[in-house]
Chain A
Amino acid sequence: MTHNRRFENSAEHQEVSALIPWYVNDTLADPERQRVDEHIGSCAVCRDDLAVHKRILEAINAQPALDYMPVASLKRLQARLDAAQAQAASPPIPPLEPSRSDAPWRGWMAASIAAMAVAIGLLAADRWVQFEVREQQPNYRTVTTPIPRPQGEVIRAVFAPNITLVELQTILDEAQLKIVSGPTEAGVYSLASNSTLTVRSSLALLRRHSTVRFAEETLPESESGNSP
């Protein structure tokens, strides 16, 4: 103990002790690693610290890692970039004509009033157009769009946004389905049958999972080729 206390106060001990985390994660350069090796041989306190750090490392890496699907996230990033680029490309607002008035503030006031009037007019027009559009269009969006169906598609499905690759693959394996297309902008996957399992059976297996937010058959049973 006395021996260890003497070590604890030495500069060598302090310096080596601070390197132990990187000794444990194996990123020290050879000379530093050698220095830690030599010190640990004669310092019980550092050996104890080493044990602590090894347990922390093991505990951190024992927790299961989740893999998320990047494609939908990337699409949202692309949309943000498109919006940012469109904003950057839009023409700047032209400066107002300089006032000929002797009192400059009168010109600014007039310009402000005019700008406000234009803004209010545009706002009213926009509200009217939005109202008209709402009146004319349904307030929902379908996922069964008339785009051509991918080869072999029998089911369209939407999964929870936080589903992991492993979870998705497990669900698809269980339902004996494979992805033939997707996800679309709305997150819809086109799935094809991977076996002789009926489409209805695959659908039932899919719907058992809470991470499957939507699953519908896209072909009548008689046309799917998998009729019971």
Chain B
Amino acid sequence: MTPLAKNSPKERDNALLAAIAAGDRRALEELYLSYHRRLARFLSRFTPRYENIEEIINDTFMVVWQSAKDFRNASQVSTWVIGIAYRTALKSFRRQKNHNVANSLEDYPEQTVDPTSEAEVRDWLKHGLSRLPMEQRLTLELAYHMGHSLEEIAVITDCPVGTVKARMFHAREKLRQYLPTLGGGASELPARIG
């Protein structure tokens, strides 16, 4: 544990990244250990295989190691690291798509569903999430699982704020079409979705 640990997380991350830029391997290890849990939890929502999760995290930190000197404080270190993880994950998921996603979609029926219990709603929602285009799902998970603000998601995904809002809007609309009982006001849905 370095003396940096006593600072705020933001200060600690900045100091660690500066040390990494100077070639300090121990600083990289400390940053890795402080982000591993958060990233692994996030990525485990997309892939159950830890080998894939580890590959994405380690690829992310290879980039952190190589690019730390290019960090210009335009964003927080956490947003920068998660942005690298986002792009690495997106590439990895697209690579796997041909092998996995085609099969997984066949597991779920196409029609909308009308579950009754809360547990059923959660279960169908999980299926609904897996049917979303990856960018839309990542946006939703960055907001609801990771708790990022609109502006942070725009930085992480390297998109304008308007694109983030649009992705979130389409994700919600698809989930509502798939699962009308989500909103409670299902009777108004056909008019709204068109």
Contacts and interface: CB of A to CB of B under 8 A. Distances in A.
Same assembly: yes
Contact of B57 (A21, A48, A73): A73
Interface residues of B, number: 48
A49 B50 contact: no
Contact of B172 (A25, A53, A65, A162): A53
A1 to B, nearest CB: 8
B144 A81 contact: no
B40 A68 contact: yes
B188 A48 contact: yes
A86 interface: no
Contacts of A59: 121-122, 125-126
B65 A25 contact: no
Interface string A167-190: 000000000000000000000000
Contacts of A18: 165, 168-169
B78 interface: no
A81 B144 CA distance: 34
A73 B125 contact: no
A44 interface: yes
The size class of the interface chain A forms with chain B is 35 or more
A74 B145 contact: no
B54 A61 contact: no
Binding site secondary structure of chain B: helix
Contacts of B122: 58-59, 62-63
Contact of A22 (B40, B54, B149, B182): B149
B186 to A, nearest CB: 9
Interface in B60-101: 61-62, 65
Contacts of A25: 143-144, 147-149
A49 B49 contact: no
B170 to A, nearest CB: 12
B192 A45 contact: yes
Contacts of B175: 52, 56
Nearest to A48: B185
A66 interface: yes
B45 A63 contact: yes
A70 to B, nearest CB: 4
B144 A61 contact: yes
B183 A52 contact: yes
A84 B62 CA distance: 10
Contact of B183 (A4, A8, A49, A68): A49
Contact of B36 (A57, A73, A78): A73
Contacts of B141: 60
23 contacts: A17-B169, A19-B150, A22-B150, A25-B143, A25-B147, A25-B149, A26-B147, A27-B143, A45-B192, A48-B185, A51-B182, A51-B185, A56-B125, A56-B140, A56-B172, A60-B45, A60-B140, A60-B145, A68-B36, A78-B25, A81-B28, A162-B49, A162-B50
Given A45-B188, A48-B184, A63-B45, 8 more contacts: A27-B152, A52-B182, A60-B129, A65-B41, A74-B29, A77-B61, A81-B28, A162-B49
The 3 closest A-B pairs by CB, nearest first: A162-B50, A27-B149, A70-B36
